[in-house]
Each structure stands twice: as structure tokens, then as C-alpha cells.
Chain A
Amino acid sequence: EVQLVETGGGLIQPGGSLRLSCLGSGFIASSSYMNWVRQAPGKGLEWVSVIYSSGSTYYANSVEGRFTISRDSSKNSVYLQMTSLRVEDTAVYYCARDGTGTYYMDVWGNGTTVTVSS
């Protein structure tokens, strides 16, 4: 069964850092385009970042320069390093697979909650 499990969320103060992890099973994450998508409380979905199978990375303007996406093929995992966190980064963060450049997300994790508050 193809599955994604996110971990690493929590309560963090503004200006702090946090690293989210996404463990894939049933498929090879490094052969896919792997995304992070977030959803602020009561709001819609917002794309955050993607790492292509080639290793190229892209970010939403709202997180460019503060967040870094990476992967570890040996662990079949993708990560999101978040720095200089702001209150407006508070959200459920989902990991989602885009097969291979099909540009739709066919597998989603259950999400991990990040709360930025003093």
C-alpha cells in the first residue's frame, strides 16, 4: 500500500525553527515529485514546496528563503526545514506525491500540525 506519514509538528515560538519529516512506503519517493502543502486553520490549501525527481526544488513566494525541502533516498523520506517561523505559518502541513511530473497529487499523508505562537 502506498502511504505517506508526516511527523515533526509542534508548538514553536515566532522566529524559531522546525523540521518536518515525511516517510514514504510502497513506492520510491526519490522517483516522484514530492510536495508540501499546508492548510491554515479554517482556510484553504496552499502549496508550499516541491522537490523533483531530478533534485530541483521550488518554493511558494510566502516561504522562499525561509523553508528548505530535501530528501534522503536511503530513508525514502522528504523533509521540510522551516526557519524564521511566523504566526502566519501556523497550519496543518501535508506531504503529497505527484507521480512523475503529472502535476496532480495522488497520495497524501494525514498531516502534521505546526503552531507558531508566543
Chain B
Amino acid sequence: SYVLTQPPSVSVAPGLTARITCGGIDIGSKHVNWYQQKPGQAPVLVMYEDSDRPSGIPVRFSGSNSGDTATLTISRVEAGDEADYYCQVWDSSSDYVFGSGTKVTVL
């Protein structure tokens, strides 16, 4: 089965840039999607197909994907960005696969 690896946590000061990585074998050949989940809430799609933002998601959120690593970048981090972030791909042998999640803490 296909495995996605994320760092457990990322800490960033307000106004700076947070980068959340998602590792997988040849992940660059797949479309990567990202979800934000705040405590007690359902996940929200914040990036799809590597670098496309759904309507309503700030331009501060951007995505990239190449080789064995995909990255979600949050520029000019705000307190409201504090949440868990999950990457996700579709794999023909595993169907929908989620990463283990990264907790973003705004210092």
C-alpha cells in the first residue's frame, strides 16, 4: 500500500512562512490534495491537484509537488492558520490515502 509521510509538527511565528511536507515514492507523478482541520471541526480542502486553491482559500496558501515530496506553503502565517494539515493522494492499489497529519503551531 502507498504511504505518505508528514512531519508531526511545524512551528512558525506570525508573519513568517510555514512549509509542510508530504513524502511518498514518486509522489510527483500523483495529484496531491491538502486539508486543514481545526479542533472539533471537519476537514476543509485547502489545495487540490498539487497547486490549485478552492474558492475562498487565501492566496497565502500555495502548493508544489515534485519527485518524492509535495509541499504546502503558508505565507504570512496568521493565528487562524493554526490547525492540523493532511495531505492526500489517490493510488490505484490503495484508493484514497491520507498522510499522518502535521500540527501547525503559530508561536
Chain B residues at the A interface, C-beta cutoff of 8 Å: 1, 31, 33, 35, 37, 41-45, 48-49, 54, 84, 86, 88-90, 95-101
**B42 CB contacts on chain A under 8 angstroms:** 94, 108-111
Q: Which 9 A-B pairs rank lowest in CB-CB distance, beginning with the nearest? A: A103-B90, A104-B33, A47-B96, A44-B101, A108-B42, A45-B98, A104-B48, A44-B100, A106-B45
Q: What residues of chain A lie closer than 8 Å to B41, measured between beta carbons?
A: 110
Contacts A45-B98, A47-B98 given: A105-B31 contact, CB under 8 Å?
A: no
Q: How many residues of A contact B (CB 8 A)?
A: 21
A106 touches B48 (CB 8 A): yes
Does A104 contact B95, Cβ atoms closer than 8 Å? no
- Residues of chain B within 8 A of A50, CB atoms compared: 95-96
For A44, A58, A109, which residue has the most chain B Cβ atoms within 10 angstroms? A44
Q: Give A contacts to B, CB under 8 Å.
A: 35, 37, 44-47, 50, 58, 60-61, 94, 96, 102-106, 108-111
Contact call B100/A104, Cβ cutoff below 8 A: no
Closest to B42 in A: A108
19 A-B pairs whose Cβ atoms sit less than 8 Å apart in the complex? A35-B96, A37-B43, A44-B86, A44-B100, A45-B86, A47-B96, A47-B98, A58-B95, A61-B1, A102-B49, A103-B96, A104-B33, A104-B49, A104-B88, A105-B33, A106-B48, A108-B44, A110-B41, A111-B42
> Across the interface, do B98 and A46 meet the contact criterion of CB distance under 8 Å?
yes
Question: What residues of A have a CB within 8 angstroms of the CB of B45 in the complex?
Answer: 104-106
Bound together, the chains give a CA A46 to CA B1 distance in angstroms of 13
